[in-house]
């Protein structure tokens, strides 16, 4: 008897499958309801950041408040997004103060001082994810310096809708300078930035948030439409048009602390659940007023 061998049984070949970890993509937010504000009294929170990076001092005894970790910054931006905030420009704010204007129901301005390169590498993509734009306050002498923004990076951010403002030429305390040097820092910084970047520079943020009547006079003379100071209120108006109130967001804040000083709260479902939901503590910093003396016809 002859046996014919059977053909070999087919063996299934194992295939490798990959599971893609989903990443957060902000859903298109509904068109915000616009509300008329002004003239004069306008409620707009203005937030101030410096570094969006891990602090190089993290493992030391010194804890710098100016470094906000990227993941914390992302959580803060997500909360603003989830609670219905919309970024606006300084020009929109100042138009509302001067003339009255329609603004989103929950407007916010997000500013960055000094021009650190991580504003481009870290803050910029995070804010793009949520459809936000910001304002860069740049020190003219820092352009293209090591660890600071390059001209090309700034132009890219400006093309994406970011505003550019002056933060002086050398980041000196303007109130400690002689008038001639004040003029140089305030007036010439605008001309230098506009020349190098090819974009309008219409507001100034005073280094260290301090100014005086002389500095503000030069800001008027330079053609700025407003100036940024520091403060704890969201009330902006004609009396502080050249000392707009900005809240310094410190790296030591967690998301709930950040939420507690926002003027409009949202659903607590978007907050971390490890600690009780914060309650708003009303804080009102008196709006500083300055008497602006109309400069003489001679050049300051």
CA–CA dist 208, 215 (Å, integer): 13
Tokens of 117: 């390169």
CA–CA dist 216, 226 (Å, integer): 9
Q: State the pLDDT at residue 60.
A: 73
| pLDDT tens readout for residues 30-54 | 667 899 999 999 999 999 999 999 9
| pLDDT tens readout for residues 242-255 | 999 999 999 999 99
Q: Are 70 and 122 in contact (CB under 8 A)?
A: yes
| Sign of the CA dihedral running 66, 190, 98, 288 | positive
Selected residue with higher pLDDT from 57 and 26: 57
pLDDT of residue 134 exceeding 50, the answer is yes
Rounded to 10 degrees, the C-alpha dihedral 175/176/178/184 comes to -60
Q: Single out the residue of 237, 226, 290 nearest to residue 39, CA to CA.
A: 237
Q: State the pLDDT at residue 284.
A: 38
CA–CA dist 235, 296 (Å, integer): 32
CA–centroid distance for 289 within its chain: 25
| pLDDT tens readout for residues 280-294 | 444 334 444 444 434
Longest dimension (CA), the chain: 124
Beta-carbon contacts of residue 280 (< 8 Å; ≥ 6 apart): 260, 261, 265
pLDDT of residue 96 exceeding 60, the answer is yes
CA–CA dist 171, 173 (Å, integer): 7
Task: Please tell me the pTM assigned to this model.
Answer: 0.82
Q: Are 39 and 97 in contact (CB under 8 A)?
A: yes
Give the domains, in start order, of the chain with CATH numbers: 37-270 (3.20.20.370)
pLDDT of residue 258 exceeding 50, the answer is yes
CA–CA dist 60, 211 (Å, integer): 33
Pairing of strands 235-236, 34-37: unpaired
């Amino acid at each position: 008897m002859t046996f014919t061998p059977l053909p070999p049984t087919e063996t299934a070949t194992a295939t490798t499958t990959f599971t893609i970890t989903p990443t957060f993509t902000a859903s298109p937010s509904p068109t915000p309801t616009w509300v008329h504000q002004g003239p004069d009294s306008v409620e707009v929170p203005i937030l101030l950041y410096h570094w969006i990076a891990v602090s190089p001092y993290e493992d030391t005894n010194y804890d710098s408040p100016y470094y906000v970790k990227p993941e914390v910054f992302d959580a803060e931006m997500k909360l603003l997004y989830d609670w219905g905030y919309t970024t606006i420009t300084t020009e929109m704010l100042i138009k509302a103060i001067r003339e009255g204007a329609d603004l989103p129901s929950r407007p916010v301005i997000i500013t960055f001082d000094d021009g650190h390169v991580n504003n481009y590498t870290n803050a910029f993509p995070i804010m793009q994810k949520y459809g936000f734009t910001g304002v860069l306050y740049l020190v003219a002498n820092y352009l293209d310096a090591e660890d600071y923004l390059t001209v090309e990076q700034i132009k890219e951010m400006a093309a994406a809708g970011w505003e550019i403002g002056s933060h002086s030429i050398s980041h000196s305390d303007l109130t400690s300078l002689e008038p001639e040097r004040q003029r140089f820092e305030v007036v010439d910084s605008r001309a230098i930035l506009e020349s190098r970047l090819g974009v309008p520079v219409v507001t100034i943020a005073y280094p260290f948030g301090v100014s005086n009547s002389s500095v503000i006079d030069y800001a008027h003379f330079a053609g700025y439409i407003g100036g940024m100071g520091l403060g704890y209120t969201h009330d902006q108006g004609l009396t502080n048009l050249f000392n707009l109130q900005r809240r310094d967001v410190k790296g030591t804040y967690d998301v709930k602390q950040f939420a507690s000083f926002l003027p409009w709260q949202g659903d607590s479902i978007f907050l971390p659940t490890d600690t009780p939901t914060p309650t708003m503590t009303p804080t009102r910093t008196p709006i500083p007023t300055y008497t602006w003396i109309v400069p003489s016809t001679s050049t300051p």
